[in-house]
């Protein structure tokens, strides 16, 4: 199994990480890629921001 992944693979892994915990090797791949890529860390922050916004929307609709 390869350690180096491209941006498309990291995006896929980040989105799957929302559904279930990733294996340690996938987390390592993401971490290594984030050190050399300027775009993927920005995408990861956007995913966190969107997750928080949707959680707020869900809480607001329950009230």
Instruction: Judge whether 1 lies within some domain.
Output: no
Domain count, the chain: 1
pLDDT tens-digit map of 9-61:
999 999 999 889 999 999 999 999 999 999 999 999 999 999 999 989 888 87
Instruction: Judge whether 39 lies within some domain.
Output: yes
pTM of structure: 0.79
Q: What sign does the CA torsion over 39, 45, 51, 57 have?
A: negative
> Which residue range forms the structural domain that includes residue 13?
7-62
From the list 1, 3, 2, the residue with the least C-alpha distance to 28 is 3
Residue 19: per-residue pLDDT: 87
Instruction: Judge whether 23 lies within some domain.
Output: yes
Instruction: Judge whether 25 lies within some domain.
Output: yes
Residue 25: per-residue pLDDT: 95
Residue 17: per-residue pLDDT: 92
Residue 59: per-residue pLDDT: 86
Q: Is 1 helix (H, G, I), strand (E, B) or coil?
A: coil
Instruction: Judge whether 35 lies within some domain.
Output: yes
Instruction: Judge whether 29 lies within some domain.
Output: yes
Give the pair of three-digit tokens for residue 55. Answer: 């959680």
Instruction: Judge whether 28 lies within some domain.
Output: yes
Taking the CB of residue 14, how many other CB atoms lie within 10 A of it? Answer: 19
6: phi then psi, degrees, rounded to nearest 5? -95, 175
């Amino acid at each position: 199994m390869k350690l180096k992944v491209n941006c498309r693979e990291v995006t896929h892994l980040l989105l799957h990480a929302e559904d279930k915990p990733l294996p340690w090797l996938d987390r390592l791949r993401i971490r290594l890629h984030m050190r050399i890529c300027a775009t993927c860390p920005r995408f990861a922050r956007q995913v966190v921001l969107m997750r928080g916004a949707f959680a707020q929307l869900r809480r607001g609709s329950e009230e």
